[in-house]
Amino acid sequence: MSRVPFVDVRAMARWMAWRGVERLMPQLVDALEADFRRWDSFELSPRVAAHSREGVIELMPASDSEIFGFKFVNGHPVNPSRGLQTVTAFGVLADVRTGYPTFMAEMTLLTALRTGATSALAARWLARPDSRVMALIGTGAQAEFQALAFRAVCGVEQIRAFDVDPDALAKFARNAQRLGLEVHVASSVAEAVAGADIITTCTADKRAATVLHDVDVVPGVHVNAIGGDCPGKTELDPAILRRARVFVEYEPQARVEGEIQQVGPDFPVTELHEVIASGVRRRHQGDITVFDSVGFAVEDVCALRFLQADVVGTEYVTELDLVASPSDPRDLYGLVASEMPVGIPSGA
């Protein structure tokens, strides 16, 4: 039988704890940047989504000449009220030459890691280099990963946090204290963004919300908008977009799912890989920049490859008996016949 290396949830948590989330972030950012530089080598397509009243289930595929990968992921904002995660995921890598899976992993934790790293990659190129204060609007499951990514990669020194859910805000404050993060707990969005160089919005409600108003965004600010990620779900006042230079991962997907779904099909945007390829970070210090991020499969494939290279052959990996491999590839039924009790006809 062909066995597939697999990283389960507990092993992923142990790996992150051993390697350190903050120490992993710059390494994963560098890996992501390398893949964004070779963007044209990937076969790209928008994710396949099944929407319901309560959420969405998606398949996110990407491939190059050697590796095919996908992530299965859901987004159900009502889930915390049921004691469930808003987002869960797992991912698979496969060998393009044979079609055989080569690696599997849980991706609820890994997606949080790659989302933090992708946000920090965008800010590395788009935010002012002297940015030291970040407002964090939404302090749910993604918050700690965002904060650690921005401290490790961008030099952010203070987080100004706000959430409409006081329990989520208290959770983040407790974790931030253990992580040595300097946090100001704000009582409103306006208080949180006052004096911020970077504003990250990462709320969960599946609706067209205005979490961040135009008046809250001053010249020179970089907005990291990562909560709007499906049709009908937004966080930004569209007036912010019209004042800003807007950057996306993959335009065909962002037009449907991102903040730019609010401003029409002709609204100008730039894909992040173009910025990285050009080597031009920020035109003017007073520019407002928006990273309208919905998450894209290339990032997931990169994160899976990064994880695979780090853990295969270690205690963090188990093996799944996933692929049928009869001794004669033409005799698949032979696997069934070999399990039949002696003396019992195979058709019985």
Domain boundaries, the chain: 2-109+299-326, 129-295
Measured distance CA(233)–CA(262) in Å, rounded: 10
The predicted pLDDT at position 56 comes to 87
Higher pLDDT residue, 203 or 29? 29
Phi and psi angles of residue 228, each rounded to the nearest 5 degrees, phi first? -80, 110
Per-residue pLDDT band for 346 (boundaries 50, 70, 90) equals low
Give the lowest-confidence range in 71-85, 99-113, 143-157: 71-85
CATH code at 129-295: 3.40.50.720
Give the lowest-confidence range in 31-35, 63-67, 79-83, 280-284: 280-284
Mean pLDDT of 304-316: 97
Q: What is the pLDDT of residues 260-296, one digit of tens each?
A: 999 989 999 999 999 999 988 877 889 999 999 999 9
Res. 310: pLDDT tops 70: yes
Write out the catalytic residue numbers. Answer: 229
CATH class entry, domain 2-109+299-326 = alpha beta
The predicted pLDDT at position 285 comes to 86
The predicted pLDDT at position 280 comes to 81
Mean pLDDT of 217-243: 90
Per-residue pLDDT band for 342 (boundaries 50, 70, 90) equals confident
Res. 54: pLDDT tops 60: yes
Q: What is the mean pLDDT of the chain?
A: 93
The predicted pLDDT at position 80 comes to 86
Query: Quick one: what percent of the chain has pLDDT higher than 90?
Result: 82
Q: Quickly tell me which residue has 């939404």 as its tokens.
A: 138
Q: What is the pLDDT of residues 176-222, one digit of tens each?
A: 999 999 999 999 999 999 999 999 999 876 676 889 999 999 999 99
pTM for this prediction: 0.93
Are 272 and 249 a contacting pair, CB within 8 Å?
yes
Are 16 and 328 a contacting pair, CB within 8 Å?
no
Relative to beta strand 198-201, strand 222-225 is: parallel
Res. 163: pLDDT tops 70: yes
Measured distance CA(160)–CA(88) in Å, rounded: 27
The predicted pLDDT at position 343 comes to 66
The predicted pLDDT at position 344 comes to 63
Higher pLDDT residue, 166 or 77? 166
Measured distance CA(150)–CA(121) in Å, rounded: 9
Of 141, 225, 133, the closest CA to residue 181 belongs to 133
Give the lowest-confidence range in 19-28, 183-192, 328-337: 328-337
The predicted pLDDT at position 348 comes to 53
The predicted pLDDT at position 155 comes to 97
**Other C-beta atoms lying within 10 Å of the C-beta of residue 293:** 25
Measured distance CA(347)–CA(312) in Å, rounded: 41
For 171, which DSSP code? H
The H-assigned helical ranges of the chain are 9-19, 21-37, 108-126, 143-154, 166-179, 189-193, 238-243, 251-257, 272-278, 297-311, 333-337
If you write DSSP's letter for every residue of 15-65 in order, what string do you get?
Answer: HHHHH-HHHHHHHHHHHHHHHHHTGGGSB--PPEEEE-SS-EEEEEEEE-S
Res. 331: pLDDT tops 70: yes
Measured distance CA(295)–CA(228) in Å, rounded: 10
Higher pLDDT residue, 17 or 339? 17
The predicted pLDDT at position 282 comes to 79
